[in-house]
Structure 1
Amino acid sequence: MASASSFASNSQYCPRWKYDVFLSFRDADTRDTFTSHLYEGLKNRGIFTFQDDKRLEQGDSISEELLKAIEESQVALIIFSKNYATSRWCLNELVKIMECKEEENGQTVIPIFYDVDPSNVRYQSALQKHLPNMNRGIRMM
């Protein structure tokens, strides 16, 4: 049996997660307020957080870089805001996050409700098929 130090020095060893946290949010709703403060707070605590810095036009498809960042994040923080479900981009992120959560040893998904009531978000038709899966094993805050 190899020792921990020889295992860590093995060139084929790579950590399972590249990022501690992936932030999913509606740019126009929270980027310059809640999300920027949350990101800075996580960063200041040494929590390696992915936040997409590109401002995307409505209708743009989700990039390969973003999909990879979702897959490589241990925790996904979904910041549900008033207009989250109106963004095709956000909904595509949500679908990918939920796919990653469902995989064996999947990521942890934590919903944050920013300036909305959780029951209002739960009944938006665009989210209905995803939220039942999110509720399993996750406390709604």
Structure 2
Amino acid sequence: MAAHNGAFSSDYSSGSSTYDVFLSFRGEDTRKNITGFLYRALRREKINVYMDEEDLCAGEQIRKALLEAIRRSKISIPVSSKGYANSKWCLMELVEMVRCNRCNGQIIMPIFFDVEPRDVRHQSGSFEVSFQKHEERYDADTVKSWREALILVGGISGYDLQQLNG
């Protein structure tokens, strides 16, 4: 994260932010590895991070709480993984991140974990399989918004974690 250290400084102002960072991830793919490690590292640095398992209160309306947390964050970090596009929740979060980026200038810092950025951008590989299923279950406008968000985020220079060892 050293390359983007300034992005976390307290001078960044996006109105009424509650969180410095919102982490979006597919739990079963990354919670116990990259996302968990990243969460603990950011917290050690006193960065206020929203992570759904840690910050959702019992009885809270999940969708409303997640979208509000995104809106009240300075930076969004989507951790794209092979199963990311399987989750309608991850895709809804991504659409909201893109909306906040366009409307409020919220920073999006993608991490590509065990996926190619081009697979995210073009919805190929594991993303293609997910979208074949989504097209059967969801309306065309919803699927189109998910695809557009992935195209935008897949085109942002992020952290490609395919070549990491250990």
With normalisation by structure 2, the TM-score equals 0.65
> How much has 1:135 moved relative to structure 2?
6.3
The Cα offsets for residues 88-136 of structure 1, whole Å up to 9 and x where unpaired, read as 1111111111111110x32100110001111122111655312443367
SS at match of 1:17: coil
- The aligned residue for residue 130 of structure 1 is 149
- The aligned residue for residue 163 of structure 2 is none
The Cα offsets for residues 28-56 of structure 1, whole Å up to 9 and x where unpaired, read as 100111111100000000100000007xx
CA RMSD of aligned residues (A): 2.1
1:139 aligns with 2:138: no
Number of aligned pairs?
Answer: 119
- Higher Cα Rg: structure 1 or 2? 1
Structure 2 runs not aligned, ≥5 long: 1-14, 55-60, 132-145, 160-166
Aligned mates of 1:133, 1:119 — CA distance in 2: 11
- The aligned residue for residue 120 of structure 1 is 119
Tell me, yes or no, if the aligned pair for 2:70 and 2:96 is still in contact at 8 Å. yes
SS at match of 2:77: strand
Whichever structure has more helix as a proportion of its residues is: 2
Identity of aligned residues (%): 41
Structure 1 runs not aligned, ≥5 long: 1-14, 55-60
With normalisation by structure 1, the TM-score equals 0.75
> How much has 1:74 moved relative to structure 2?
0.1
Aligned mates of 1:44, 1:78 — CA distance in 2: 20
Q: 1:120 to 1:134 in 2, by over 3 A?
A: closer
